[in-house]
Structure 1
Amino acid sequence: MDLTIRISKKGTRVVKASELHRALGLADHHYQANVRSWIRDVYQFADGIRKPVGMQDYARSTNTKTDVVHEYYFNLELARLVALNTKSKVKQAIATKLSKEAEVYPDHVQLTADQTLQLLEQTRAMTRLSCQMAAEERHYNAYVRRTGSGDYWNHYRVENVVKITMEELREQLTDRNIPFNRNHRVRELLLRHDPLECIRVGIVDHYAAQGYSIPYALELGKLARELAATMQLEVTDDRQGEGLFTTPADIDLVRKLQRAAA
């Protein structure tokens, strides 16, 4: 029942369809027919009864070298539903393993009261530039560990975390007559464009660095932004020390978030 859980480029936990098929003890020569059936069947997903959606629940491997046998990656929810839908004698064990992994690293946010309070305190702390910068560095280090290098980091972060390019930021700042210079980096441009986005991005970096999926981290970032807006929090540059207008926050948490090491 050896089934390897992998991490996609977006941080989502996935399994290979071929490895799931083998772990379930199904005959190899039935793989192609079974996988076609799996991605066309109807399941009870968390968001309703539906068919799997490509690039959401599963994706075809770009390393597939033949048009006859295709490799796919399934997210943990689809893999669990597929397993339970088979006649395998080990389907319960496989589904249990996948469920436990999904509980530790969920793709969707369902916070308890304590977790909500924790996010609230993290949001307060993330008003500090020092915490935002440390979170980005932790995320970068996690990215390097996962991919083996820092190649394409900037592209990855813009596509998955920041969600806006530097050129788009410059254009929008120009349209609003907000001054900036060409040496300003993404965070400096964001700070001029929308300070609350700096808090959102910081929270996304913080959770992505811990191994949570990008979709999960993005949902937490969105919640953090809403909390920051409700509390009317302001971003401050604390790199030279706490200022008069720095948002009060738990000092131990602030120190923890200021550490660049994960």
Structure 2
Amino acid sequence: MDLQILVSKKGTKVVKASDLYIVLGLPNKQYATNLRRWINDVYQFRDGIRKPAAMKDYAKRPTTVKLMEDYYFSIEFAKLIVLNSKSKVKQKYATFLYKLEDKTESNDLLNVDQVMAVLELAKVMGMVSCQTAAEQKHLETYEQRNNGSAANWWNFRSKMLGYSTDQLKQKMQEMGKSTAGKSRRHMLMQTDKYEMVRTGVVDLFMAMGKTERYAKNLGRLAKAFAKELKVEIFDDRNAPLLFTPHLNKELANEVKHLEKGRYLQLWEPQRMAS
């Protein structure tokens, strides 16, 4: 049996859960149990590690068989299910679904509102208070994923960001500058100050549960915006309000408290087209 691909009026490609189950050759008696597990499990989607979202990754399919539940699955979700299954034919169907994924609808692409939000993020990440808050929130997410442990945090973060304290010290020395008593942030300020904006944005989106690739892509975009706008890097933590830059306070508060308000909610899962 071939896996049937359905296309909605809006062009969304989906598969039926029941069809997927049949082609994978899984035990009929375990259908209901596996279906519940699929929907409640955690997967690495393109936009982050999370549970599947209703009306984004799956939707209830009306059926005349009262005792049998069925769903429509997005192509990405179906592929992740196949990869996590114990089916003997999972490579065949995972490859098939991978080729069907519409690259033009990839979550790596930003809509206009998201681009404008990254532009605003580039500005507020000039404030050290936002940078440190994003770093702390990222650390908390890291600990949650590692059973409450922060072991290897600095090595993990250095590898992800592409620089370490030792590398920054070497760069400072090559520039003929002293490294005595200098923190990472101080050294970045003297070697590549807009890297602080990139780092802050990467920390923020990692804290929000996005994938490393996705967070780094947005970080690079924010850094490019910061350079173009000549964003001021300002340590506002102990500065009087009179001397702080006039920036988007609403977004700054969202960053500091990881609150999904008008800006950060733009990265919440969108509803599946019907």
Query: TM over 0.5: same fold?
Result: yes
Counterpart AA for 1:229:
K
Provide TM-score, normalisation by structure 1.
0.62
Deviations 1:167-204 (A, max 9, x none): 111111101012221x4332222222111000000011
CA distance in 1, matches of 2:221, 2:133: 20
Does residue 81 in structure 1 map to residue 80 in structure 2? no
Structure 1 residues 55-204: aligned runs within 5 Å: 80-81=97-98, 106=107, 108=108, 110-148=109-147, 149-160=149-160, 162-181=161-180, 183-204=181-202
CA distance in 2, matches of 1:224, 1:22: 35
**What's the counterpart of residue 229 of structure 1?**
227
Equivalent residue for 1:211, pick from 209, 212, 225: 209
Kindly state the Cα deviation for residue 115 of structure 1 after the two structures are TM-superposed. Answer: 1.4
Provide TM-score, normalisation by structure 2.
0.60
Equivalent residue for 1:20, pick from 79, 82, 91: 82
Aligned 8 A contact 2:134 2:255 in 1: yes
2:194 aligned counterpart, secondary structure: helix
Counterpart AA for 2:132:
M
Aligned residues: 194
Aligned 8 A contact 2:168 2:188 in 1: yes
2:225 aligned counterpart, secondary structure: helix
Counterpart AA for 1:217:
A
Deviations 1:60-96 (A, max 9, x none): xxxxxxxxxxxxxxxxxxxx427x7xxxxxxxxxx9x
Aligned 8 A contact 2:82 2:93 in 1: no
Q: Which has the larger radius of gyration?
A: 2
CA distance in 2, matches of 1:261, 1:114: 18
CA distance in 2, matches of 1:136, 1:218: 14
1:258 aligned counterpart, secondary structure: helix
Counterpart AA for 1:207:
F
Deviations 1:134-182 (A, max 9, x none): 000000001111121211111110111x21111111111101012221x
**Counterparts in 2 of 1:18 and 1:164: CA distance versus 1, 3 Å:** closer
CA distance in 2, matches of 1:155, 1:172: 19
Counterpart AA for 1:20:
V
CA distance in 2, matches of 1:21, 1:215: 20
**Counterparts in 2 of 1:22 and 1:202: CA distance versus 1, 3 Å:** closer
Kindly state the Cα deviation for residue 123 of structure 1 after the two structures are TM-superposed. Answer: 1.1
**Counterparts in 2 of 1:219 and 1:254: CA distance versus 1, 3 Å:** same
What is the percentage of aligned positions where both structures have the same residue? 24
Deviations 1:193-242 (A, max 9, x none): 11100000001111111111110110110000000011111211111125
CA distance in 1, matches of 2:158, 2:211: 16
**Counterparts in 2 of 1:186 and 1:21: CA distance versus 1, 3 Å:** closer
CA distance in 2, matches of 1:246, 1:7: 39
**Considering only aligned residues, what root-mean-square deviation do their CA atoms show, in Å?**
3.5
**Counterparts in 2 of 1:128 and 1:22: CA distance versus 1, 3 Å:** closer
**Counterparts in 2 of 1:238 and 1:172: CA distance versus 1, 3 Å:** same
**Counterparts in 2 of 1:18 and 1:221: CA distance versus 1, 3 Å:** closer
CA distance in 2, matches of 1:243, 1:178: 32
Does residue 5 in structure 1 map to residue 42 in structure 2? yes
Q: Which runs of 5 or more structure 1 residues have no equivalent in the other structure? A: 44-79, 85-94
